[in-house]
Amino acid sequence: MSAPDRPAPDAAAPDSAAPDHRRWLQLTLDLAREAQQAGSAPVGAVLVDASGHEVARGRNRVGEAQTPEHVGKASVAHAEMDLYFSVGKLENPQSLTLYTSLEPCLMCGGASALLGVGRVVWVTDDPWGGSGRLIAWADHPAMQDTEVLPTPDPDLERQGALLFAPEARRAFPDEGWALWRKRYPTETADL
């Protein structure tokens, strides 16, 4: 999958040279592993402010029971939605960065843009379920002010692909699995 077109950074958007992407992306992978251990798809997300402080974190909870604190056993219980439901109203969303272990789907990518999040950074492309397969991030009017940085760390990208590939094989139709095998041939070879 080619990198999405990126709009010019907005003056209010976070400074793309400043954050420690690796630190936050590693945390998303840790949260993805927690989700997997709890019986959900391995996806994690962290929201970080412009000062580099964690605002909220979430993980996929689709395979888990619903609790008063978290939406569970629902198709909307994705890691990013878990994060957004827990944080409530976002203050200065244009200054926030969403880090996620997997390219956001249309629901999560759309929610991020509609909430006005300034930047979205992910570890691993999702050639089947990611927003970029259906619409270029920068082509959607709601996403014009959202900077998108896909897979900035090749080592973490490989870890993320190895972690999510079994879920992609299990959950996606043949067409989706074929796209995963094409995008990540080494990481899917033994599945």
Any catalytic annotation for residue 80?
Answer: yes
Strand 97-102 and strand 147-150: the pairing is unpaired
- Catalytic annotation, pick one of 64, 80, 167, 187: 80
In this structure, is the dihedral angle defined by the CA atoms of residues 124, 125, 128 and 131, taken in order, positive or negative? positive
Q: How many CB atoms lie within 10 A of CB 107?
A: 14
Contact criterion met (CB below 8 Å) for 113 and 4: no
Looking at the annotation, which residues are catalytic?
A: 80
